[in-house]
Amino acid sequence: MKPQTALDRFLQTDPEDVGCDEAMEHLHVYVELVAVDAEAQERYPGIAAHLKACGPCSEDFTGLLAAITGPAL
Amino acid sequence: MVPAEVEGNGAATRMATLDPDSADWLRDLNGTEADREAACLRLHAMVLRIARHEVRRRSGYLQIAGPELDDLAHQAAADAMVAILAKTDQFRGESRFTTWAYKFVIFEVSNKIGRHFWRNRTVAMDDEDWSRLPDRFGLDPAHEAEWRDLVAALRQAVDDDLTDRQRQVFVAIVLNGVSLDALVADLGSNRNAIYKMMFDARRKLRAALVAKGVMDIESSASA
């Protein structure tokens, strides 16, 4: 085993990754599925793959999820 | 990928498929001047509340607080309102109207924070400080003998295998610590284009490291 886990994770790409535009186009749909635990990752694996790899889009997802599930902001 | 749930044309067909709250929003925003004005006031109050929460949530990335942070929230809310009102006819009822609208707030906050990155910082885009890489990826200096060849191979692959643009993006993000959204603002590009450039760069670099025998062909990402 080579000592490269973090770098390897960073360089790893998922062919299912749909990219920022498509993930953000459907983020409002995806986040509502996540909020009700409705198998969002299974239904939209390409968005799930993208959010795992893209920090900015993942941050947007977290913010939107907080906006719709958090207590009165 | 996402099924189109609303195929009909016209507000009447579309609103028949909406949840009651979303239908109310669309009715009011497309209603009389008084209805629209009242709806815009309600919507702006909600949008500003979300923007304030979001800039506070992300305030760790910023070196501002108090009134300046609130000003950033107001700017994001104002720009989100413009986007929402311009695109209301594109809302297809796939989510609640408020979820769809909040998405624009989050995007505007990201955009503002990306631009804010450069207010108090200058980064020489051609500056390549490879000494930052071990810390960036948690490579322990005490075990340098174990990763020295890997880093040398990576540096060689960056020089040999990436296009000039891919190399510029890789250096900015990985070595200089520029956030992707900040780089988007600096280059006048868009997030998808920069992400795609990094995606291709990452794929090329990993293939090169595997070919050189310094990285396992099996990913350790799922380990």
Please give the pLDDT value at position B126.
66
**Do the domain assignments include residue B146?**
yes
Is B8 a residue whose pLDDT tops 60? Answer: no
Contacts with A8 from chain B: Cβ below 8 Å:
206, 215-216, 219-221
Q: How far apart are CA B128 and CA B171, in angstroms?
A: 6
Question: Could you say which of B84, B116, B148 is where a domain stops?
Answer: B116
List b or e across B51-73, with b for residues whose CB sees 16 or more CB atoms inside 10 angstroms.
bbbbbebbeeebeeeeeeebebb
Q: pLDDT, tens digit, for every residue of B61-85?
A: 777 888 989 999 999 999 999 999 9
B25 touches chain A (CB under 8 A): no
Is B185 a residue whose pLDDT tops 50? Answer: yes
- Taking only residues 58 to 77 of chain B, the set having a beta carbon closer than 8 angstroms to any beta carbon of chain A reads 58
B195 touches chain A (CB under 8 A): yes
Is B3 a residue whose pLDDT tops 80? Answer: no
| Residue given tokens 């624009």 in the structure block | B104
User: Is the domain of B109 the same as that of B164?
Assistant: no
Please give the pLDDT value at position B17.
81
Supply the ipTM of this predicted assembly: 0.92
**Do the domain assignments include residue B70?**
yes
A67 touches chain B (CB under 8 A): yes
Please give the pLDDT value at position B121.
74
User: Is the domain of B17 the same as that of B112?
Assistant: yes
Residue whose C-alpha is closest to residue B54's, from A73, A27, A36: A73
Please give the pLDDT value at position A4.
60
User: Is the domain of B105 the same as that of B157?
Assistant: no
- Taking only residues 6 to 65 of chain A, the set having a beta carbon closer than 8 angstroms to any beta carbon of chain B reads 6-13, 17-22, 24-29, 31-32, 44, 46-47, 53-57, 59-60, 63-64
Is B7 a residue whose pLDDT tops 50? Answer: no
Distances in Å between the Cα of B174 and the Cα atoms of A11, A35, B136, B195 are 11, 32, 8, 13
**Do the domain assignments include residue B182?**
yes
Inter-chain residue contact B154 with A7, CB threshold 8 Å: yes
Mean pLDDT of A3-22: 91
Q: CATH number for the domain including B137?
A: 1.10.10.10
Q: Which domain holds residue B31?
A: 11-116
High-pLDDT (> 90) share of chain A, % = 84
Question: Could you say which of B59, B87, B116 is where a domain stops?
Answer: B116
For the stretch A40-44, contacts whose Cβ atoms lie closer than 8 Å and that sit 24 or more positions apart, written own/partner, are: A44/B1, A44/B2
Residue whose C-alpha is closest to residue A32's, from A52, A47, A49: A47
Under a CB-based contact definition with an 8 Å cutoff, are residues B21 and B96 in contact? yes
| Residue given tokens 């080579």 in the structure block | A2
Inter-chain residue contact B54 with A26, CB threshold 8 Å: no
Q: How far apart are CA B147 and CA B141, in angstroms?
A: 9
What torsion, rounded to 10 degrees, do the Cα atoms B89, B95, B98, B104 define? -70
Distances in Å between the Cα of B8 and the Cα atoms of B14, B31, B84 are 6, 20, 21
Judged by average pLDDT, the poorest of B10-14, B35-39, B79-83 is B10-14
User: Is the domain of B81 the same as that of B156?
Assistant: no
Residue with the bigger pLDDT between B100 and B15: it is B100
User: Is the domain of B93 the same as that of B136?
Assistant: no
Please give the pLDDT value at position B66.
87
**Do the domain assignments include residue B124?**
no
Please give the pLDDT value at position A38.
86
User: Is the domain of B160 the same as that of B200?
Assistant: yes
Contacts with A67 from chain B: Cβ below 8 Å:
50, 53-54, 99, 102, 105-106
Mean pLDDT of A39-49: 96
Q: How far apart are CA A58 and CA B62, in angstroms?
A: 18
Domain spans in chain A, listed from the N-terminal domain onward: 25-73
B90 touches chain A (CB under 8 A): no
- Coil, strand or helix: which one is B210? helix
Question: Could you say which of B89, B116, B143 is where a domain stops?
Answer: B116
**Do the domain assignments include residue B98?**
yes
Q: How far apart are CA B99 and CA B3, in angstroms?
A: 18
What's at B95, amino acid-wise? S
Inter-chain residue contact B146 with A3, CB threshold 8 Å: yes
Q: How many CA atoms lie within 13 A of B26 on its CB side?
A: 24
Q: pLDDT, tens digit, for every residue of B96-122?
A: 999 999 999 999 999 999 988 887 777
